[in-house]
Amino acid sequence: MTQTIYGKTEGLKKQVLTQLEGIYELRADEGQLISQELALVLRDLSDAINREISLYIDRKGRVTAVAVGSDCHVELPGTDSRRSQNRLCGVACIHTHPSGAPRLSGVDLSALRDLRFDAMAAMAWETPQSEPLLSFGMITDLDEDQQPVLQEFGPFKVKDVAAMPFGNVVHTVEKILAKRSRNHNLAEGPERAMLISLAWGDTASRWSAQDSVEELAQLAETAGAEVVGKFVQSRPKPDPVFFIGKGKVQEMALFAQQEDIDLCIFDDELSPAQQRNLERALGVRIIDRTGLILDIFAKRARTSEGKLQVELAQLQYMLPRIMGQGTSLSRLGGGIGTRGPGETKLEVDRRRIRDRIAFLEDQIRRMKGNRKQQQRARNKNEVKQVCLVGYTNAGKSTLLNTLTHSDIYAQDQLFATLDPTTRQLDLPDGSSCTLTDTVGFIQRLPHQLVAAFKSTLEVVKDADLLLHVVDSSHELAREQTEAVYQVLQELGVTDKPILTVYNKVDRLSQHEGLRRRLEQEDNALCISARTGEGVPELLETLARLLGQDRVEADLCIPYGESRLAARLHEEAQVLSEEYGETGILIRARMDKALADRLAPYIQP
């Protein structure tokens, strides 16, 4: 191989030139952006001649060109001809900024865009002996006009850069680019996913690994992925390095290659280190159950509060993962269809993420304050509040629609509803209450989400009655019920009256026995939100339960105190009203508390 030194070599001593030529003998590992040794040699030589040094390094880690002088990367010999729209050029350019900053200049960025480098990196250091810092830019996507989207990462310590799975990142980026240029839109081509669930130790759980992986497949499809393979492995306990066994890792790596898999979804939460190791071993993007659920929530959030809450949960989930070496990069492309909490956030350092978390928490607290005020206003009116809770896809939103003749979004999808919706519900005894639909629960709901959604879920805490909707036609109805109770406990809701409704009984025609058993349970009703079966009984029961602490009374309000009559209209249910000789005669149904306060006016 020629060992030409390009650029402004005039005036350099023979000995220095020899040292520069020596750079060609050095190399990085395959998949590494730069090795520590190369970085230190670049620093020392660059200091010695007080000029920039640039080099090209290919994907095998070989140095293919070395140049001296500023902005010389544009003068370097052309890279190979793979510069099609959906590929990078196969070479990274690394250059030094002696006595400068480890930041990319405008010229660096335009060279990155024009020459489609795998990466463009700038390295700088403070004093001759100090550790170099390095920032690098990459093309990470194509925009709507098929123009490259650039992102800058870092600065990082060189040793952290050396530890990054750079090859995997390049591989992922090329896949994204290929899809973008094929479809003009990533969302059109579903990502191909393989799933894995580990069955281990904790046999107390009623969910078998198989059940759980089926649910995971539903989640993955909800998120827009195509499930190509499902794996289950039994082990006494998770492997600390790979979570699953090494043999399984090999089997899956082969499967990933044969089936052109884009991502692998784990049913359990992985440690950041396990995630990184797996990413290297399998060569595909790895996400875990928590990451997947967060991804779905990110896609579904509609209200500004919902969006803030999801972003908060995503950042809290990402924080430990970004802190590990290099993981910020391996997280490139976030979840399915590359929805992270905004890819630009991947480049912000940990402190800025912390700041953002604090900001989000503050915003959410404020919104919560507002809601509390509305809440107080409602309480004053003594309107009873009923809240729908239940496993995701149980039929909560459908039931709200049936009961209140509304048309909110209800779909055969997990997490169709994220943001609470409240409607007025008229009851057969003439009274009314509010009915609130909430986000569905799931087994092992990520705790980041429960925490972030705590304020939304306060409606559950404040409710007078919970209407627990169960999909009676689901094989795992019992397990789902347990999961719901677990989340309620996590929310600190333990002493609320609960009315259970076994929904979807129209699907139980083959299971008369089951239906009879459900009908005999206390505090439970069988209904079909779809056909309306059982709904009149449900309404009667609701009226009875909510009316329990209500009394009917005849009052005589003196004409001088007509203020009280107005109050009755506001807070009680007025059944009749007449103007008598001594005052207004009102028959009303009201809360015991109110009746006690109005005792002096109540007629025997």
Ligand X SMILES: Nc1nc2c(ncn2[C@@H]2O[C@H](COP(=O)(O)OP(=O)(O)OP(=O)(O)O)[C@@H](O)[C@H]2O)c(=O)[nH]1
Nearer to ligand X, 507 or 589 (CB): 507
Cα separation, 515 vs 237, in Å, equals: 39
Under the binding rule (CB under 5 A), the answer on residue 417 touching Mg ion is yes
Note whether 300 binds ligand X by CB under 6 A: no
Site string for ligand X, 439-468 (x = CB under 6 A): -x----------------------------
**Cβ neighbours of 316 (radius 10 Å):** 20
| Half-sphere exposure of residue 354: CA atoms within 13 angstroms, side-chain side | 5
H-assigned helices in 301-340: 304-323, 327-330
Does residue 480 contact residue 512 with C-beta atoms inside 8 Å?
A: no
Which tokens hold the place of 165? Answer: 């799975």
Give the count of beta carbons closer than 10 Å to the beta carbon of residue 128. 9
Tell the residue number behind the tokens 């793979």, with chain if given.
Answer: 82
Least Cβ distance, residue 304 to Mg ion (angstroms)? 20
Tell how far CA 558 is from the center of its chain: 60
Q: Is 172 among the residues that bind Mg ion (CB under 5 A)?
A: no
Q: Figure out which of the listed residues 274, 309, 338, 398 binds ligand X, where binding follows CB under 6 A.
A: 398
Q: Which is nearer to ligand X, 68 or 476 (CB)?
A: 476
State the minimum distance, in angstroms, from the CB of residue 392 to Mg ion.
8
Q: Which is nearer to ligand X, 168 or 528 (CB)?
A: 528
Q: Does 396 bind ligand X (CB under 6 A)?
A: yes
By a kind-dependent CB cut-off of 5 to 8 A, residue 503 interacts, out of Mg ion, ligand X, none, with: ligand X
Do the beta carbons of residue 546 and residue 592 sit within 8 Å?
no
Q: Which of 392, 404, 431, 456 binds ligand X (CB under 6 A)?
A: 392
- Please identify, among the stretches 81-89, 178-186, 528-536, 537-545, the one whose residues bind ligand X according to the rule CB under 6 A: 528-536
The CB-of-404 to ligand X minimum distance in angstroms stands at 13
Distance CA 421, CA 303 (A): 11
Mention every residue, 6+ apart, whose C-beta is less than 8 A from residue 404: 423, 424, 425, 435
**Does position 397 bind Mg ion by CB under 5 A?**
yes
Nearer to ligand X, 274 or 397 (CB): 397
What are the tokens at 339?
């929805």
> In the complex, what is the shortest distance from the CB of residue 467 to Mg ion, in angstroms, rounded to a whole number?
13
Q: Based on CB atoms, which residue is closest to ligand X, 57 or 493?
A: 493
What's the closest the beta carbon of residue 393 comes to ligand X, in angstroms? 5
Q: What angle do CA 184, 189, 190 make, to 5 degrees?
A: 150
Could you say whether residue 452 binds Mg ion (CB under 5 A)?
no
Nearer to ligand X, 233 or 500 (CB): 500
From the CB of residue 244, how many other CB atoms can be counted at a distance below 10 Å? Answer: 24
- 8 Å CB contact between 360 and 311: yes
Q: How far is the CB of 505 from ligand X (least distance, A)?
A: 7
CA distance 182 to 197: 32
CA distance 112 to 54: 14
Q: Which stretch binds Mg ion (CB under 5 A): 51-59, 157-165, 397-405, 445-453?
A: 397-405
Shortest Å distance, C-beta 195 to ligand X: 20
Q: Which does 322 bind (CB under 5 to 8 A by kind): ligand X, Mg ion, none?
A: none
Does 500 bind Mg ion (CB under 5 A)? Our answer is no
- If one counts every other C-beta atom within 10 angstroms of the C-beta of residue 545, the result is 17
Give yes or no for a cis peptide into 558 (omega within 30° of 0): no
Contact track, ligand X, 498-517, x by CB under 6 A: -----xx-xx----------
Is residue 416 near Mg ion by the rule CB under 5 A?
A: yes
Among 245, 223, 343, which residue's Cα sits nearest to residue 294? 223
> What would the x/- binding string for ligand X be over residues 37 to 76, using CB under 6 A?
----------------------------------------
Whether the CB-CB separation of 180 and 186 falls below 8 Å is answered with yes
Q: Is 321 in the site for ligand X (CB under 6 A)?
A: no
Residues 6+ apart with CB under 8 A from 577: 565, 584, 585, 586, 587
Q: Which residues bind ligand X (CB under 6 A)?
A: 390, 392-398, 410-417, 440, 503-504, 506-507, 528-530
Q: Which residues bind Mg ion (CB under 5 A)?
A: 396-397, 416-417
